[in-house]
């Protein structure tokens, strides 16, 4: 089993900064509808033998990034639940607006690599608050704010539920990983721009 630290590092390397994700989020489906759908995940999705790469291929046409870490039971279950949300639009009924879009698999990965390492996905099914956390996280990384909420409210409510923030050691590690990605991005941007004039050899 990979440790939470390692999985969070993988997530921070593939996810855009939270701030930017909030800035581009648009109104999405109601939170309750997503949470209810999440809790109705079929047992077959949670089977230990399920191949996340194959499941993701069937549902989205391509393997999600977390498939590479699916030997970890938490990652596997988290990804499976995310993939269920996507599959359910065909099997049950589409959300309004539909989840399918450019960030659908990123949302699956957010459940598998950001939430699951901190809170076991089985708890999402058993505990209302953890289920809400998973649903809010999924919507955010799919590019949505829950229907009826503005960005500020949605952000505050998500942060209040965010288990990662409440685990100080993991939160620090995650902040460092996010920071590393942000610095790398800023340095690359600055390099593309141009430096400033300098005055002497060093």
Partner 1 sequence: MSDPDGLLLGAGGEPEPAAVPDPDDPLALGEYRPGSAAVLTDAERWPTLDAEAAARLHRWRTHPAAPTWVHATGDRLTAEAVERTRRPLPLEGWLDDHLAIARRLPFYRGRAGLATLADFPPIGRADLVADVSAFVPLDADLDRLLHGTSSGSTGAALVIPDDVEEVARGFHLLVDLARRAGVEWTPDAERLALVWVLQQRQAFTYVSLISGFAHRAMARVNLDRRAWGVASDRSRFLAEADPQVISGNPTSLAELLSDDLRGVLRPLALFSGAMALSGPLRAELEAAFACPVIDVYGLHETRPIAARTDDGPFRVLDRRVLVEILDAEGRPVPEGTMGEIVVTAGENPLLPLVRYRTGDVGRLVRLADGGMGIADFEGREHTEFVTGSGVRVPSVDLTQQLQSHGALGWSVVQGASGAVAATVVGGEAERIREALERLLDQPVEVTRVERLIDLGEGKPRRFRSAVIA
Q: Is residue 201 a contact residue for partner 1 (CB under 8 A)? A: yes
Q: What's phi and psi for 97, nearest 5 deg?
A: -70, 160
The stretch among 64-72, 127-135, 157-165, 178-186 that binds partner 1 (CB under 8 A) is 178-186
Rule CB under 8 A: which of 116-175 touch partner 1? 172-173, 175
Q: What is the DSSP string of 88-157?
A: HHHHT---SS-S-STTHHHHHHIIIIIITTTS-HHHHHH-HHHHHHHHHHHHHHHTEEPTT--HHHHHHH
Nearest to 25 by CA among 114, 178, 147, 164: 147
Q: Judged by CB under 8 A, which stretch of 65-73, 74-82, 114-122, 192-200 contacts partner 1? A: 192-200
182 contacts partner 1 (rule: CB under 8 A)? yes
43 touching partner 1, by CB under 8 A: no
Between 150 and 192, whose beta carbon lies closer to partner 1?
192
Under the binding rule (CB under 8 A), the answer on residue 199 touching partner 1 is yes
3-state secondary structure of 27: strand
Interacting residues with partner 1 (CB under 8 A)? 172-173, 175-176, 179-180, 182-184, 186-188, 190-202
């Amino acid at each position: 089993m990979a440790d939470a630290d390692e999985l969070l590092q993988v997530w921070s390397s593939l996810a855009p900064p939270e701030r930017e994700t909030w800035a581009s989020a648009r109104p999405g489906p109601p939170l309750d509808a997503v949470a209810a759908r999440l809790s109705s995940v079929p047992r077959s999705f949670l089977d230990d033998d399920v191949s996340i790469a194959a499941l993701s291929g069937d549902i989205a046409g391509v393997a999600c990034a977390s498939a590479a870490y699916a030997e970890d039971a938490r990652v596997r279950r988290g990804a499976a639940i995310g993939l269920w949300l996507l599959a359910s639009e065909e099997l049950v009924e589409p959300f309004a607006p539909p989840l399918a879009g450019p960030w659908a698999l990123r949302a699956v990965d957010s459940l598998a690599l950001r939430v699951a390492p901190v809170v076991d996905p089985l708890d999402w099914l058993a505990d209302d608050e953890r289920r809400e956390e998973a649903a809010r996280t999924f919507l955010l990384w799919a590019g949505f704010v829950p229907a009826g909420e503005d960005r500020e409210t949605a952000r505050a409510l998500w942060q209040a539920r965010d288990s990662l923030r409440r685990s100080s050691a993991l939160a620090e590690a995650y902040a460092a990983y996010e920071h590393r990605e942000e610095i790398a991005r800023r340095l690359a941007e600055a390099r593309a721009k141009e430096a400033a004039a300098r005055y002497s050899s060093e």
